[in-house]
């Protein structure tokens, strides 16, 4: 896992080359909405893309992480099915329902049943490198979503410059990001991490939580400002032992949410001194997002080392899939 995280910017570069070279058919449809189907390491990209783009696109982009699909799906819906293995059960079920509703389908995968479906039905598709842990290939699945959305006219090509700036930023800040990650991992070791972000960056918090779950083999939770100000903030009274609070912050966070975060810290500091905040670097939402994703990935790796666990091992998930296959 250390090697995968270390290779993150090379993944992004390679993904941009794959996206630029993708041979996708044109569509004459006018789309009213976009649905991204995917789970886990493949699906989180859809959540983050929605965060990044929602304020700048004219149609809604939603992500589904289930067997079901929204009732609005029809022939004016662009459906992007993203499954690294190509065999994710829930994604295949959801896609089947989308096909029956005559949605426009584009697939991002490394192979499996999804690749076969794409070839058999002549669906647009982008094939990414396979045979790796899905969560370690986030750079590919995430990047290709932007190329698909550009192809269908949902967004323009401005994202490419932001990705290139993010790659340069992460390469330049690599040593500092690793140093911060080590320090934060020490504060989170043998604690339950509590991750807070401002609205617009929830996908980043989810990704961080998932990486701690899968790589570090730890439980944790996340919440979003301002929503948590109306509920979770009151929970900081009891059962507050052994918690490590981390705020992922960005200059682009809405100013009122910035104020809320500062007040939150004052409230929470009455119950724990284990509070950290990390400011992203970069000038765009994409740069801020990729900065914190890379930082979070490194933290999860250092925690896996401290916990003496195999970051790649997913035995219990494999057991779950084996049991489902029997039914």
For residue 30, the SS3 value is coil
Q: How far is CA 119 from CA 76, 229, 236, in A?
A: 22, 48, 53
Q: Catalytic positions, please?
A: 214, 230, 321
Structure tokens at 53: 């783009």
d(CA 249, CA 256) in angstroms, rounded, equals: 13
d(CA 163, CA 177) in angstroms, rounded, equals: 18
Q: What is the 3-state secondary structure (H, E, C) of 192-207?
A: EEEEEEECCCHHHHHH
Structure tokens at 315: 């035995």
- DSSP secondary structure of 132-152: S-GGGGHHHHHHHHHHHHHHT
């Amino acid at each position: 896992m250390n090697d995968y995280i270390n290779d993150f910017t090379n993944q992004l570069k390679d993904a941009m080359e794959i996206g630029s070279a993708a041979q996708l058919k044109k569509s004459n449809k006018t789309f009213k909405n976009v649905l991204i189907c995917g789970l886990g390491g493949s699906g989180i990209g859809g959540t983050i893309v929605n965060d990044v783009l929602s304020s700048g696109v004219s149609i809604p982009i939603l992500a589904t992480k289930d067997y079901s699909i929204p009732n609005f799906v029809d022939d004016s819906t662009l459906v992007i099915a993203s499954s690294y293995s190509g065999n994710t059960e829930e994604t295949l079920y959801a896609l089947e329902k989308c096909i029956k509703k005559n949605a426009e389908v584009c697939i991002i995968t490394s192979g499996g049943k999804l690749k076969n479906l794409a070839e058999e039905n002549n669906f647009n598709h982008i094939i990414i490198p396979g045979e790796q842990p899905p969560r370690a290939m986030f750079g590919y699945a995430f990047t290709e979503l932007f190329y698909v959305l550009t192809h269908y006219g949902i967004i323009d090509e401005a994202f490419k410059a932001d990705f290139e700036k993010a790659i340069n930023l992460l390469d330049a800040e690599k040593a500092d990001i690793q140093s911060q990650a080590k320090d934060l991992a020490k504060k989170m070791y043998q604690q339950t991490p509590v991750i807070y972000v401002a609205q617009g960056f929830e996908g980043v918090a989810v990704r961080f939580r998932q990486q701690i779950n899968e790589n570090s083999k730890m439980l944790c939770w996340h919440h979003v400002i301002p929503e948590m100000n109306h509920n979770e903030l009151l929970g900081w009274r009891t059962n507050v032992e052994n918690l490590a609070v981390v705020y992922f912050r960005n200059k682009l966070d809405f100013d009122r949410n910035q104020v809320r975060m500062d007040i939150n810290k004052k409230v929470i500091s009455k119950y724990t001194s284990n509070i950290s905040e990390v400011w992203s670097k970069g000038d765009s939402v994409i740069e801020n997002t990729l900065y914190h994703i890379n930082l979070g990935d490194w933290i999860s790796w250092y925690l896996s080392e401290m916990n003496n666990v195999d970051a790649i091992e997913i035995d219990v998930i494999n057991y779950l899939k084996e049991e489902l296959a029997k039914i």
